[in-house]
Copies of this chain bind each other. A is one copy, B any other.
Amino acid sequence: MKVALIQPLVVPGELRENLARVSGLCRQALSQGAELLLLPENCLSGAWLGDLSDESLFYEECEACEKELLEIAGGTPLLFGNAFVLGDNPRELSDFPEPVPYVFGQAERRRKALASLAREHRLAVAYVASVSAGNAGKTWRAFDGRSSLFAASGALAAELPAFEECARVVDAGTAEAARPAPEGTDDLFRAIALQTRMVMRQGGIRRVVVGASGGIDSCVTAALMGTIVDPDDLLLVNMPSRHNSATTKGIARALAENLGCRYAEVPVEPSVELTRSQLQGLPVPRLGGKGAAPDAAADRLELGPLHFENVQARDRGSRLLAAIAAAFGGVFTCNGNKAETTVGYATLYGDCSGFFAPIADLWKHQVYALGRHLNEKVHGREIVPAAAFEIPPSAELGPDMDVEAGKGDPLVYPYHDFLFRWWTESEERPGPFASLSRFADGTLAARIGADPELVRRLFPDAASFVADLERWWKAFKGMGAVKRVQCPPLAAVSPWAFGSEREEAVLPLFFPSKYVELKNSLLRKR
Which residues of A are at the interface with B, using a C-beta cutoff of 8 A? 11-14, 48-52, 54-55, 57-58, 60-61, 64, 134-138, 199, 202-203, 231-232, 235, 253, 256-264, 266, 270-271, 274-275, 278-279, 282-291, 299, 301-303, 307, 310-311, 314-315, 317-320, 322-324, 326-328, 348-350, 353, 355, 429, 431, 433, 481-482, 484-489, 500, 502-508, 510, 512-515
Enumerate chain B residues within 8 angstroms of A274, measured Cβ to Cβ.
270-271, 274
Docked-complex contact B505 and A61, CB < 8 angstroms: no
Enumerate chain B residues within 8 angstroms of A326, measured Cβ to Cβ.
303, 307, 310
A140 to chain B: closest residue by CB: B506
User: A45 to nearest B CB, angstroms?
Assistant: 11
A298 to chain B: closest residue by CB: B232
A514 to B57, CA, bound (A): 8
Beyond A260-B287, A266-B278, whether A135 also contacts B315 by CB under 8 A is: no
User: A137 to nearest B CB, angstroms?
Assistant: 5
- Pick the residue among B283, B286, B307, B484 that contacts A232 (CB under 8 A): B286
**Copies of this chain, tallied across the complex:** 2
- Pick the residue among B261, B289, B314 that contacts A318 (CB under 8 A): B314
A287 to B512, CA, bound (A): 56
Beyond A503-B50, A510-B13, whether A284 also contacts B235 by CB under 8 A is: yes
Enumerate chain B residues within 8 angstroms of A61, measured Cβ to Cβ.
512-513
User: A317 to nearest B CB, angstroms?
Assistant: 7
A310 to B278, CA, bound (A): 21
Extra contacts, 7 of them, besides A137-B485, A253-B287 (Cβ < 8 A), are A52-B507, A138-B485, A275-B320, A307-B323, A317-B318, A318-B318, A485-B489
A257 to B271, CA, bound (A): 31
Docked-complex contact B275 and A262, CB < 8 angstroms: no
A320 to B61, CA, bound (A): 49
A57 to B515, CA, bound (A): 9
Docked-complex contact B258 and A288, CB < 8 angstroms: yes
Enumerate chain B residues within 8 angstroms of A13, measured Cβ to Cβ.
507-508, 510
7 example contacts (A-B, Cβ-Cβ < 8 A) are as follows A232-B291, A258-B288, A260-B286, A270-B278, A307-B323, A310-B326, A485-B488
A320 to B353, CA, bound (A): 17
Docked-complex contact B323 and A310, CB < 8 angstroms: yes
- Pick the residue among B12, B319, B505 that contacts A48 (CB under 8 A): B505
A278 to chain B: closest residue by CB: B266
Beyond A275-B323, A301-B324, A513-B61, whether A288 also contacts B260 by CB under 8 A is: yes
A481 to chain B: closest residue by CB: B137
User: A484 to nearest B CB, angstroms?
Assistant: 8
Enumerate chain B residues within 8 angstroms of A275, measured Cβ to Cβ.
271, 319-320, 323
- Pick the residue among B58, B203, B319 that contacts A482 (CB under 8 A): B203
